[in-house]
Structure 1
Amino acid sequence: MSPITRRVLQAVLYEAIAIAGVGPALSLAFDEPPTSTFGLAVVLSTIALTWNYAFNWFFERWESGQSVRGRSFARRLAHGAGFEGGLAVILIPVMSLWLGISPAAAFVANLVLLVFFFVYAIAFTWAFDRVFGLPASAVQKDAKAVGV
């Protein structure tokens, strides 16, 4: 699978599962109609989808320059923290405006989502790698396979 196809597939699957869970959760948490929170979930996921693609491109570029290949637990934690931290900065104003809450309340709500999505991002990426294999940037180089 090409790197671009892999990143698009990963991002779309990640966000589709997220929309299915976040819409109803936001409806319950903010006592808002499900149509409103589903719309918010779609907007948040669209933003996250764009961020996911960009972040994974940057992360894999960084990763390809590392001397140690593979995706250790520490590298997966760094991936999850970088992705979710950047996303939080983007989503707080959106949540504040959509839900009519203060930025501080949106920050707290985003912290709850951050904890959930931090674990979800690590678990999803691990499962995705198990099903579709590691990207080229994380594959161990085999001297015999490359003719060295």
Structure 2
Amino acid sequence: MQGKARKVVQAILYEIIAVACVAPALALMFETSMAHSTVLSVLMSGIAMSWNMGYNWAFERWEARQAQRRRTWLRRLLHALGFEGGLVLILLPLVAFWLDISLWSALLTNLALFVFFFVYAFVFQWGFDKVFDVPLSAQQRTAEC
């Protein structure tokens, strides 16, 4: 699977699994209802999907210009760090407002989510590439005849 279809399937699967994990965790951590934490999780998911699409577009554009196009463990690590680090900053005001907590508490919450999502993003992307193959931007170039 390649192109836009790959990106859409990747983002949707990623976020469905994420909401299923995050909503109950937030409900337990902040002693709030599942409904309240699920709405927050869905809002965060929508923002994350937008970030995912933009970030992956930029990453694959950069990746396609590299001499070495294979997705190494280091490249996957940098991809996960960049994605999750950017998302922590983007979601900070929403988490603080929604949970009625300080920016510091929201940052700590986002960092806890970062730890989970850092591992999750790495494992998810590896598994997704195994099932659907890597995008053309990460495939080795073959010599033309």
**TM-score, length-normalised on structure 2?**
0.98
The alpha carbon displacement at 1:52 in A equals 0.3
Structure 1 CA distance for aligned equivalents of residues 73 and 4 of structure 2: 24
Greater RCO, 1 or 2 (C-alpha within 8 Å, sep 6+): 2
Indicate the residue corresponding to 2:28 in structure 1.
Answer: 28
Structure 2, gaps ≥5 residues long: none
Structure 2 SS opposite 1:137: helix
Matches within 5 A, 1:11-26: 11-26=11-26
The TM-score with structure 1 as length reference comes to 0.96
Residue 95 (structure 1) aligned with residue 81 (structure 2):
no
CA deviation vs aligned residue, 1:19-53 (integer Å, no higher than 9, x gap): 00100000000001110000000000010011000
Distance in 2 (CA, whole Å) between partners of 1:4 and 1:115 is 28
Task: Output the amino acid matched with 1:15.
Answer: E
Identical counterparts, % of pairs: 50
Runs of 4+ in 1 over 4 A off after TM superposition: none
Separation in structure 2 between the aligned mates of residue 7 and residue 94 of structure 1, nearest angstrom: 25
Quote the residue 2:54 is aligned against: 54
Count of residue pairs brought into register by the alignment: 145
Q: Matches of 1:9 and 1:55 in 2, distance apart?
A: 15
Residue matched to 1:113: 113
For 2:74 and 2:85, the matched residues in 1 are separated by 16
